[in-house]
Copies of this chain bind each other. A is one copy, B any other.
Amino acid sequence: MTILKSMLLAHPRPPGDHLDTLADAAEALARCEQICVVCADACLAEESVDKLRLCIQLSLECAEICGATARLVLRHSAAPASALPAQLDVCLMACQACADHCELHGTDLGHCAICADTCRECQEKCNAVLGELALAAVGSTD
């Protein structure tokens, strides 16, 4: 069990069935934020920087959004009144835009290939949380 899972279990209101999904998403989001920060910095240091402007913008935007989304996921206990599901949707969009664009030059630039993969994995983990939240919402109105 990762430290983060132990930590969420030690919360007075632990996430129950959502433990794995939330922790996996929070970790994927933190990773994606970090990889996107490095991708922007790496693109900026490339000789072909003038062709990588949009890539840098999308990576910075994705890093920004992943970071904010991660912190919302971690404060899961506020869920009833929370903007979390909508924020996860935005994060899916930002990850997709960044991954799609990074893939365009992923064969030439190793960091863009890694960034695209990391964004895709982050999308998967965010989607899993959205799925569980939707199910839980249905369950709670039964």
Contact = CB atoms under 8 A, between A and B. Distances in A.
Which label, helix, strand, loop or mixed, suits the secondary structure of the A interface?
A: helix
Interface in A17-64: 26-27, 30-31, 33-35, 37-39, 41-42, 44-47, 49-50, 53-54, 56-58, 60-61, 63-64
A123 interface: no
A68 interface: yes
B72 A101 contact: no
Contact of A57 (B27, B44, B58, B94): B44
Interface residues of A, number: 63
A7 interface: yes
B49 A78 contact: no
Interface in A108-131: 109-111, 114-115, 118
